Structure 1
Amino acid sequence: MLDVSDDVRAEIGDEEADLLLAGDNAPGSYDCTSCRTPGNSERERTSTVLFVGEETAVLAFAHATCIPSQVVTVSEEQLQGAVASITGDSPGRPADADAPQPVPGGQAVLGITSGLVLIGGELHPALVVEPTAPIARPGTTGPGDDFLPLLIEQGFIPVTNTADLPSPLAGWSVLLAAGQLHAVLQPGTDGSGQVAWWQAHQALSVTDGWRAAVNRTQRVLIYAAPVGSIGQQPREDLLRDALDKAAAAGKLVAASMPLAGT
C-alpha cells in the first residue's frame, strides 16, 4: 500500500525503495506528515515523503489522499523543524507572523495570515497575503503599487463579493508538509515545474481546524491585497470584515489552488 515516486526512489536508491515496497521498512502505523492524523501503511495507500536539506534527509509518511509521494527540498533549519514537528517536539510558530521573502521589483516582504473563511455554509482554509510595502513592477522604479495588477496577470481574479468561491488557478499550489505551511508555488517561467512565489524562512504552523478543513477540501483559498488593506487581525471574524472592506474598495484578488503535487 506504499507509494514511492521516481523522485524519492532516485534520492534513496533502488535497494531502499524496494525494501519499502516489500514492506520490510514500511512504517506500519504513522502520523500523516500533512494532516497529522493517524495512518496505517498496511491498510491504506501511503505516500513516502522525503525531506531533503543541505546535509541530511528525513523520510516521512503521509496519507496518499493528502499528498502524493514527493521530495520536499528545505533548508537545514527547516528540516530540523520538520523533524521536531514529526516527533512532536516543536510547539510551532503562529501562522499569522510575517515570513520574510523578497518580492521582485520591490523592497518588501509578504505577510501571510491563515484563517477559515465561511462560504456557502462551509468552512474553507484560506491564506491572506499582504506585502509590507508597495510592490513595483519589475524593471520600474516608480512610486506606484502594482501588486494586484501583477497578480491579475498571473490569473488571480478581482473579488467583488467574498461570498463567492474563488476560481481555481492552474499551475499554482500550496505546499503543506509535516502539518506546517512551507510555500506557495507558481509555474516556472521555463516550463520546468514549479518555483516558490512565497516561501517560509521557517515553516509556519496552522491550527488543527485549518488542517482538518484543507484535508477535507484539498484546496486552499489565497486572498491578496495591497499593503495597508488588511492588517494583522487577531480573530477570524475581524479578518473576514477586513476582506469584505478590501473587496468593496476594489483592493482584493483571490484564487483557489490545490496542495502541492495533487
Structure 2
Amino acid sequence: MIEILNRTRLAQARDTGGLVADILQTLKGRATVGTNLLDIDRWVASMIAEAGAESCYVDYEPSFGLGPFGHHICTSVNDAVLHGRPYDRTLADGDLLTLDLAVSRGGVASDSAISFLVGEARPQESVAMIDATERALAAGIAAARPGARIGDLSHAIGTVLGEAGYPINTEFGGHGIGSTMHQEPHVSNTGRPGRGYPLRPGLLLALEPWVMADTAELVTDEDGWTLRSATGCRTAHSEHTIAITEDGAEILTLPSQET
C-alpha cells in the first residue's frame, strides 16, 4: 500500500514527527555510562503514554521477527544495527548506540533513528561511520522532490556510503510510512537513478542509511529480532521521516530543540 496524505493528515504527520524527534533527543541526553537498555525502554513507554501516542513496535509482528517485538524502541549497541531488542545490558564508555523509534499519534506514524557514542571515548572509526550515514541521509533527502524516482534517492544514498568505503546491504532499507509504520515503496540504500516509483506531493518516506564497518552480511540474535554484523564489527544507522512537497522534501523528524 502507498498512501498520499492530504494537508490535514500532513499536519498530523508533522506533529508525530516532532514527538519522535524530541523523544530521541531526550534519550540521547539521558543515555550515559551505566544506563541500562531496559531503562531506556521504560523511559520511552512513559513519554509515549504522556503524549497520548502509541508505540509502533510493541505489537509489531512481521514475517522476519520472532513473535511480537514487545518493547517500545529499538536499542542497538556496537555490532547490532537493526531491530535491537532491549535487554538487561548497561552502557559502557565508547559504546556506539543506535536508537530507532516509531510512534503513531492521531492516526499517522513517524519513524527516526540516531546513532551516537556514549560517554567520553570517541573512536575515530565510529565517528566516521556515523558521519557517513548522516551525510548519506542528507543526500537522499536532497534528491527527494516531485517527479524524482525512488532510484534517485537510493543512488544518492549509495553513492555517499560507497565512496566512504562501506559495503551496502540491500535486504533492509527505507520505506513508505503513513497510517502504518512500514509501507511501500521500499527505498534501498543503493540503486540506479531514474528507476522506481515516481514521487508525488503528500508521500511520506522514512529514509534510513545504515552500514557495517567491514561486511554487508547480517546475523540474527537468538532473540529472533536483533540484527548484527556477521563479523562483529561496529555499525551505524541514521533515519528521518520526510514528506514530499511541491518544493522538494520536508523533514518531519527534526527536534524542536537540541539537548
TM beyond 0.5: no
- The answer to which structure has the higher strand fraction is 1
Could you say which structure has the larger radius of gyration? 1
